[in-house]
Structure 1
Amino acid sequence: MMFDATAARSSHMPQTRAVEIRIHRSIAEIAAPDWDACFPGNPEGHAYLLATERAGIEGFGWRYLTAQEGGRIIAAMPAFLTDYALETTVDNPRLRGIVARIRKSWRRFLVLKLACLGSPCTETGRPGFHPLLDEARRPTLMAQLIAAFEAMAKAEGCALRGLKDMPETELPALRPVIDAAGYAALPGLATAWLDIDFDSEDDYLAQLSARTRKDMRRKLKSRAQVSVEHVTDLAPVLDRYMALYNATRDRSDWQFEALTADYFTAILRDMPGRSFCTLYRVEGRLLAANFFVANEDVLIDKFFCMDAEEGRAYNLYYLSWFNNIAYCLEHGIARYQSGQAYYDNKLRLGSQLTANFMFFRHRNPILQRVLRWVSPLFAIEESAEKSE
């Protein structure tokens, strides 16, 4: 699918070549180096998105937008289509119960067909721009991508359109474009990260408060009872791993996509040297697992899953945290990114937060005003607790 970007150009930014916006149904249609060039330093690149696309995640259709100029991709964004239940982010069991009862008689109550820029399986929805592109052109290209996305959403019959997890660092340049397109903002879940600016575990502990340092040393005494293994093949433990993942997901306050065994196995298979899983066993029994994607600069903690009953006795959440820091130190990785939600522990362990925002627009202006009015009910509350 192609979209003429001429109408979306900004008059105050002259163009020397025509920009063509293309919408692809598979990222396999795009050369990996061309896509990855727009997302330098991001482990969740072409290989990650292709494995995700092929994983058979139920309820999602995948799209990929590229802006091309002179035969070169200069901007890109993933996108997806799904049926979205508005109460997904509601942290109110009573309200969720009311919605569930109504939905027994009215199946699509508060369910809208959604087209969204971003990916449900990446840490943020940051747009990609070629590093040689003049930064002053980025707002214009973003406007063109949004215009093409809007046309696609209309063709797909999606009344609700969104942008998922836009980092606040991108907003000074891009927020005016998003606002001009009629989108309303909601706070999303922030991304937690820790700079590995120390040389050893002792140096890291010295950066923490005395109380936290004492607590961590006490918790780490259980190390002697736990065996730790880094693997790139989950086949021998796949059934147990998926049981841990599904149980952990069921305990979560936010349930959007349900990942499949094919997702985990495909990431490990298709991203050699850039993905792995750490297994935690006690007396041979698998009690926890940590799934990662990485490159030479950043380790992204995608999922930590644990046996809620047995894992706490061995402080496996904290053991995994310190094991991940040790991995970064051993491999010269400068940043450990521990993901979204449950910030209390992450903050006291030295993490910093980068805010993310969601944006939404309904094609019906009356319903858009209604959604703006009720949107605080559906905003994500950032929980401070972590299932340890």
Structure 2
Amino acid sequence: MTGLTGQIAGSIAEVESAAWDACLPHEAECHAYYAACETAAAVSAVGIRSLAVTVSDAQGVVAVAPFFRLDYRLDTPLQGPLRALGEAVFRRLPGLMTLRVLCVGSPYAERCHVGFAPRLDDAARQQACRVMVETLAASAATERAHIVAWKDLAPAEDALLGPFLGVQGFAELGSLPIAVLDLPFADEAGYLASLSGSTRKDIRRKLAKADQVRIEFRGDIAGLEAEIDALYESTRQQSGLDYGDLEVLPPGYFSGLSQALGARVVFALYWIGAELAAFNLLLVEADRVIDKFLGMRYPLGREHNLYAVSWMANVRFCLERRIKLLQSGQTAYAAKLRFGSRLVPSTIRFRHRAAPLQWAMRKLSPHLSFARFDPDLAAMARRSAA
């Protein structure tokens, strides 16, 4: 395949939506999703500005990916007491602790959406990937970025891109895995029967105590935007985890998706009387529901067992629509595993422009895996080693 050219677009909105979605078909996190994220970030002081890299041939766009620029702190994976140590070092040596990164992927997605036109065979995909890597490298050199990284490559994308990126000198870093729940069940009873007896009993007990909870599914959240933003922020603060700018949503994110995605976005609202106690943002595809964000009012949410209530509401939502996969993201692993989920690995690939520093970072990368510092995953690793 010849005549490929790479291009940096100043925003995803500059890329034709039909071309983008043809390279990434059937995704709820589609061109409209990313464009809505861009709009929310552009009108606020919060949020990371997104760009796009494309590869084209004589017939049009053949490969796409979102990317963003980030001042990345090396202590970002650290949590708990170790974060305090990272803060102390940062205050004394901010220049040493912070790197300018050009990152393929998005802070608003748990997967690196690298897409290729269906007409490309494997060899042509490799060529398109090479042009994309070269285009990003040239942009990083122009901007004097320290690192080019590929954030959260799923197993299929990493199988395709990983060997090529390895030859190009990219090192590997473990990212947070994705929790997914397989739902090959005819009904709710079948799902509950797949769980342990103690978990099944616990879920039923919590549901029995949730008789005051009213659940509403809707796509339009007009009039509730501020409440939903506040519930999300409340839950983020309660989590005890801090990944810096990678987990901060711009104001207007939820309302923007409500307006942009049509039937692909559903908000599950949990009411206690007239009070909105929690919400779930669901992105709906033909064969998958992405449980994107949960926001909860504390302590009301705990008093009414809203985590378990929302989990079962999402399971029922999928079963009623014959959807076989519920994806629930990169947090609260202990509860999700207990409720039957499995973990799908996710990988970061990165390359520093300075070869000696890349050598040092490659040596350090096994010790800086995000999974090492997540409390649930670290506890699981300790139990496995015992």
Shift of 1:384: 2.4
Superposed CA deviations along residues 207-252 of structure 1, whole A, max 9, x for unmatched, are 2222221121111113311011123233423332222211211233
Shift of 1:323: 0.5
Shift of 1:24: 0.7
Residue in structure 2 matched with residue 23 of structure 1 by the alignment: 8
Residue in structure 2 matched with residue 63 of structure 1 by the alignment: 51
Answering whether residue 250 of structure 2 is matched by residue 260 of structure 1, we say yes
Residue in structure 2 matched with residue 129 of structure 1 by the alignment: 116
Q: 2-side partners of 1:43 and 1:59: how far apart?
A: 21
Structure 1 unaligned residues grouped into runs of 5+: 1-14
Superposed CA deviations along residues 246-266 of structure 1, whole A, max 9, x for unmatched, are 121123313324112311111
Shift of 1:360: 1.6
The correspondence of residues 355-370 of structure 1 with structure 2, limited to 5 A, is 355-370=345-360
Which of the residues 164, 169, 174 maps onto 2:151?
Answer: 164
Structure 2 unaligned residues grouped into runs of 5+: 378-386
- Name the aligned partner's letter for residue 280 of structure 2: N
- Name the aligned partner's letter for residue 69 of structure 1: D
Q: 1-side partners of 2:238 and 2:126: how far apart?
A: 40
Provide TM-score, normalisation by structure 2: 0.90
Contact 1:115 1:162 in 2 (8 A): yes
Q: 2-side partners of 1:371 and 1:119: how far apart?
A: 22
Answering whether residue 30 of structure 2 is matched by residue 45 of structure 1, we say yes
For the residue of structure 2 that corresponds to 1:164, the secondary structure is strand
Shift of 1:333: 2.4
Residue in structure 2 matched with residue 215 of structure 1 by the alignment: 202
Q: 2-side partners of 1:313 and 1:262: how far apart?
A: 29
Contact 1:67 1:145 in 2 (8 A): yes
- Name the aligned partner's letter for residue 163 of structure 1: W
Give the fraction of aligned pairs with identical amino acids, expressed as a percent. Answer: 35
- Name the aligned partner's letter for residue 199 of structure 1: A
Residue in structure 2 matched with residue 4 of structure 1 by the alignment: none
Answering whether residue 370 of structure 2 is matched by residue 384 of structure 1, we say no
Shift of 1:84: 1.1
Contact 2:12 2:35 in 1 (8 A): yes
Contact 1:59 1:82 in 2 (8 A): no
For the residue of structure 1 that corresponds to 2:75, the secondary structure is helix
For the residue of structure 1 that corresponds to 2:109, the secondary structure is coil
Shift of 1:158: 0.9
Shift of 1:201: 0.7
Shift of 1:172: 2.9
Shift of 1:283: 2.3
Contact 2:214 2:272 in 1 (8 A): yes
For the residue of structure 2 that corresponds to 1:249, the secondary structure is helix
Moved more, 183-192 or 324-333: 324-333
Q: 2-side partners of 1:136 and 1:217: how far apart?
A: 52
For the residue of structure 2 that corresponds to 1:169, the secondary structure is helix
* Alpha-carbon RMSD: 1.9
Contact 1:90 1:379 in 2 (8 A): no
Residue in structure 1 matched with residue 74 of structure 2 by the alignment: 86
Shift of 1:105: 4.9
For the residue of structure 2 that corresponds to 1:261, the secondary structure is coil
Residue in structure 2 matched with residue 8 of structure 1 by the alignment: none
Answering whether residue 189 of structure 2 is matched by residue 197 of structure 1, we say no
Moved more, 246-255 or 257-266: 246-255
Provide TM-score, normalisation by structure 1: 0.89
For the residue of structure 2 that corresponds to 1:350, the secondary structure is coil
Shift of 1:161: 1.6
Which of the residues 96, 101, 104 maps onto 1:114?
Answer: 101
Residue in structure 1 matched with residue 86 of structure 2 by the alignment: 99
Shift of 1:173: 3.0
Contact 1:59 1:83 in 2 (8 A): no
Answering whether residue 267 of structure 2 is matched by residue 277 of structure 1, we say yes
Contact 1:41 1:297 in 2 (8 A): no
Shift of 1:376: 4.0
Q: 2-side partners of 1:335 and 1:104: how far apart?
A: 44
The correspondence of residues 219-230 of structure 1 with structure 2, limited to 5 A, is 219-230=206-217
Moved more, 98-107 or 315-324: 98-107
Q: 2-side partners of 1:210 and 1:104: how far apart?
A: 50
Answering whether residue 283 of structure 2 is matched by residue 293 of structure 1, we say yes
Superposed CA deviations along residues 341-370 of structure 1, whole A, max 9, x for unmatched, are 322221222222211001122111122222
